[in-house]
Structure 1
Amino acid sequence: MTVSPAHLASLLSSRLCHDMLSPVGALTNGLELLSEEQDDEMRQRCFELLEQSAHISASKLKFFRLAYGSAGSFSESVSLEEPRALIMALAGDNGRITVEWHVGGTKMSKSAVKILLNLAAIGIEALPRGGKLEIAGEMGQDATEIVVRASGARIAFDGTVGQALDGSLDDRQISARTAPAYMIYLLADECGGGIQHMLQDDALIMGAVLPQA
């Protein structure tokens, strides 16, 4: 696959805008309803919906800032507390997904954190009816290993996302939907590592092995 950095950046921007459209639109609709509503009980409900939408918007922006951008510390490693909190917030906003975190250590490289976050996001998307998201990782002497398992009823997983993860997707098929998976494939490939995935009836399992620099 040969997609230019500029085109990849535009696709990631499109993906971010698509994912932000719903909560931001809910904020706009809530403000319109609030300006017209006179009933105190309904106004209180509007305030609750606005607060919920604002929380979801903020959570997603923080997530995408680290998953797509260059946020984090100025060093080459990032504290794992931040990605853990972001994944918990993103899954919590779904309301039907429980998260189990089994990641050893306190820090990971920025590239590893980006891969972890994006794999977690793919796992959350695979659970439209809810389920369990299990995240495991370990930074060994020779390599960092990450495993994300999404389990639940009727796993939803686009095969083109899987192809983007393993580098077999034709560059003409790279889209806003597959761009995050393609980005982390590139990150893994740059360090001599790779990403694998396996789809089962009730689970999606994804893993990454990233040799230490």
Structure 2
Amino acid sequence: MTDPTHLASLMCSRLCHDLLSPVGGMTNGVELLADETDPMMREQCIDLLGQGARRTATKLRFFRLAFGAAGGFDAQLPIADVKELIDALAAEGRDIRVEWTIGVDGLPKAAVKVLLNFGLLAIEALPRGGTVTVAVEDSGSAHEIAVRAEGMRIAFDAEVGEALDGRIPLESLNAHTAPAELIRLVAQGCGGGLQHAKSDNALVLGAILPHGSGMSAADA
């Protein structure tokens, strides 16, 4: 059984790691701005600070829904909000196109967490760019999510796949594999499951999340 305190500490480590780069960039920009007197250079520093602030805000909004307990007690979150966050994350300095096939207007929090984390894994799997295809449907009894990343070189750590399968012991989890463990627990709490498959040029992630089940793992 996963120790929630240990998992929470790993998720905090992951957040700190992912936020360090944009926050560090803003810190450097402030230091340069304080010492710079040339108007053109100061304008460039301000532009860099703006970019860093936007990147940080995007990541915070994304992780608030993907890892946290955002959304209050609403049964559904708008799919448009989820789409906006994944599109924004994909646009951060990468040659990645996101294509959507959406058959729902909203999703329960559990499905939102799974979809956002799948989107993150797909984007990170395309270091040289490519296409992320997202499909979300409601079969009537379950929400079905499929995310495909396709590009020249797929970067998908085997340990992340093992975490999605529930094959990594608690003591072997780390900040890199913890998000996969989180969404595995979310899917398990819904009575659903996750699937994944990788080839040289593609990564496919899938989830079936039955309606009407609890989400105790995601509410933590």
Q: Does TM, scored on the shorter chain, surpass 0.5?
A: yes
Q: Structure 2: any 5+ residue segments left out of the alignment?
A: 213-220
- Contact persistence 1:108–1:139 (CA under 8 A): no
What is the TM-score normalised by the length of structure 2? Answer: 0.93
Please give the alpha-carbon distance, in whole angstroms, between the structure 2 residues aligned to 1:206 and 1:177: 17
Task: Quote the residue 2:49 is aligned against.
Answer: 50
Per-residue Cα deviation, 1:53-92 (whole angstroms, up to 9, x for no partner) = 1000000000000111111252221111111111111111
What one-letter code is carried by the residue in structure 1 that aligns with 2:9? S
What one-letter code is carried by the residue in structure 2 that aligns with 1:157? F
Please give the alpha-carbon distance, in whole angstroms, between the structure 1 residues aligned to 2:114 and 2:102: 14
Task: Quote the residue 2:128 is aligned against.
Answer: 129
Task: Quote the residue 2:154 is aligned against.
Answer: 155
Task: Quote the residue 1:27 is aligned against.
Answer: 26
Please give the alpha-carbon distance, in whole angstroms, between the structure 1 residues aligned to 2:51 and 2:130: 22
Please give the alpha-carbon distance, in whole angstroms, between the structure 1 residues aligned to 2:88 and 2:72: 20
- Any idea what SS the aligned residue of 1:94 has? coil
What is the TM-score normalised by the length of structure 1? Answer: 0.96
Per-residue Cα deviation, 1:21-40 (whole angstroms, up to 9, x for no partner) = 00000000001011111222
Runs of 4+ in 1 over 3 A off after TM superposition: none
- Contact persistence 1:63–1:86 (CA under 8 A): yes
Task: Quote the residue 1:60 is aligned against.
Answer: 59
Please give the alpha-carbon distance, in whole angstroms, between the structure 2 residues aligned to 1:182 and 1:91: 23
2:14 is equivalent to residue 15 of structure 1: yes
CA-based RMSD of the aligned residues comes to 1.0
Task: Quote the residue 2:199 is aligned against.
Answer: 200
Task: Quote the residue 1:6 is aligned against.
Answer: 5
Aligned residues between the structures: 212
- Any idea what SS the aligned residue of 2:17 has? helix
% identical aligned pairs: 52
Bigger shift: residues 175-184 or 69-78: 69-78
Per-residue Cα deviation, 1:106-125 (whole angstroms, up to 9, x for no partner) = 01110000000001001111
